Structure 1
């Protein structure tokens, strides 16, 4: 990619920033209070991106921090949380905030900025670069330097997803075909219910102008709406996507089970989520419900044996 094209991609991602509504700002402030002096920025993503001020929608953030240890605190619990966050990022937290009898709910994921940058650029699993190649909103960054690093990381995620998807095509493709296939391949490495690329194509269609602009930046001008995606640098990705499916789903399950320790009823919440995505249910003991992180490998193994991960 030329310097001009790189600048164009950065400008496009920069344009996706927005000012958070008052309700969202209050939730962000509550997260900062929970982790004082650690938060460097928020990246908002998910199906409710267009409806940030709708209290019926759960807010979904990646919260970028400077240190796992300092973020999770001292003591045995903080040390264990810091370790699992480092080994299987991100750590997921849940927050509820009642403002003037309006309840806002939020699920947020903790990851260091350095780890976020690495996983947007060269991580084997697509969880981060597959997610943040999609439309996102950058909120509440601590300074211009941090903002620039996050925008660059997201640009790297777009390029990474493109390079891992282009080898799957032998002919020119429309933006909807290309990015729909890209996100579908990424979804298949996680605990998601999609059986084809229909849902992914819906997301692309919703932001058609954005994906047309990204495609033109990466692949050059289209001919009759089709881009020469097969000429984009990349090779041998079919095997890597297969391996990601084998590894990614169990890792996703362990990560979800680990998140159960962060709020009351958390294990029941994540098991309902697994059942909704896979159709597999699991009864747990009181000991497992009380110590979900400790039991997460055992629970993950049982879910795998029952076919929860495809």
Structure 2
């Protein structure tokens, strides 16, 4: 039987479009020796045609201060990245567009573990991802260790609040993704968590079985404690979403337009950004988020 580590290792090494690998190499170039790994994730991983889509990457660095110094970026960006990780930036390469988040190796490990204060990283990395660039074997091993922790963290939270039929591991995954979507301000429609599982049911069945073998206490958390943790994750997750949006107004050129595009795409809305909102994105975010909450586009 395959171990969790071998399953995740095989998954992250699956081939990708050569343009994605080339894009990853371009993303790390400004960070020099501070760059450690690049993780390709998100809905584009499930698409054969990438043109016209927004790719999602995480660039993992050894140290924020050194990474931004190498990239020639302002020192306050390193402080902002450490205070409210990650920082998010737009990028374009070879007719592809992307956004990439910058996260340190230490923050990656923490954000995939039970010590994480919100779901934003482990919810995404509990899904299939690809490691499309790594600096060396040590960088790959560190990323792999974190990526193995993410699905364990999800199931430790989900299993105690799932009432599946005997042996129905997919029910725990569905519960976990449904809960994580509810723990952030997400624009996606309500059936999105089911689609995540339905895209790769064999993967989730195998990974779930490996976790159950290697972590027989996966459902050991008392249900009241699990519900309390989910409530805390929801409260912090929604606050962090707003805080990250505000921070992205400074780091992500066109961030307001991207936000509107993503909401319109997933929620079927027709939000249009006005010129003044592009000029003053932070002020626009202060007004836009409450409007989105009232409209139900973000939940």
Instruction: Report if aligned partners of 1:41, 1:140 keep a CA contact under 8 Å in 2.
Output: yes
What is the CA deviation profile of residues 205-229 of structure 1, one whole-angstrom value per residue up to 9, with x for unaligned ones?
2211111111212235xxxxxxxx9
**Cα separation, 1, equivalents of 2:260 and 2:281:** 11
Q: 2:226 matched to which residue of 1?
A: 237
CA gap 1:174/1:281 in 2 versus in 1, 3 angstroms: same
- Tell me the equivalent position of 2:17: 21
Aligned equivalent of 1:41: 37
Task: Give the unaligned 5+ runs of structure 1.
Answer: 221-228
User: Is residue 140 of structure 2 the alignment partner of residue 147 of structure 1?
Assistant: yes
Aligned-residue offset at 1:92: 0.6
The answer for the alignment partner of 1:124 in structure 2 is 117
- TM-score w.r.t. the length of structure 2 is 0.83
Of 101, 104, 109, which residue of structure 2 is paired with 1:112?
104
1:57 positional shift: 3.1
Deviates more, 1:42-51 or 1:263-272: 263-272
Structure 2 unaligned spans of 5+: none
Within the candidate set 175, 181, 190, 2:184 is matched to 190
Q: Check whether the contact 2:90–2:253 (CA below 8 A) recurs between aligned residues.
A: no
1:3-57 CA deviation, whole Å, 9 max, x = no partner? xx8x800000000113443312321222122322221111111112144673333
Distance 1:125 1:69 in 2: 24
The aligned runs of 1:189-228 (5 Å cut-off) are 189-194=183-188, 196=190, 198-220=191-213
Partner of 1:258: 247
The two structures have a TM-score, normalised by structure 1, of 0.80
For residues 210 and 280 of structure 1, do their structure 2 counterparts lie closer, same or farther at Cα, with a shift above 3 Å needed?
same
Deviates more, 1:145-154 or 1:25-34: 25-34
Distance 1:284 1:84, change over 3 A: farther
C-alpha separation between the residues in 2 aligned to 1:123 and 1:216?
24
CA-CA distance at 1:115 after TM superposition? 0.5
Counterpart for residue 257 of structure 2:
268
What is the number of residues matched between the two proteins? 291
Superposition RMSD in Å: 3.3
Shift in Å at residue 248 of structure 1?
A: 1.0
Displacement after TM superposition at 1:64 (Å): 0.3
Could you say what secondary structure the match of 1:201 adopts?
Answer: helix
Please give the alpha-carbon distance, in whole angstroms, between the structure 2 residues aligned to 1:140 and 1:26: 9
**Partners in 1 of 2:218 and 2:65 — Cα distance?**
44
How many Å apart are 1:296 and its aligned residue? Answer: 8.2
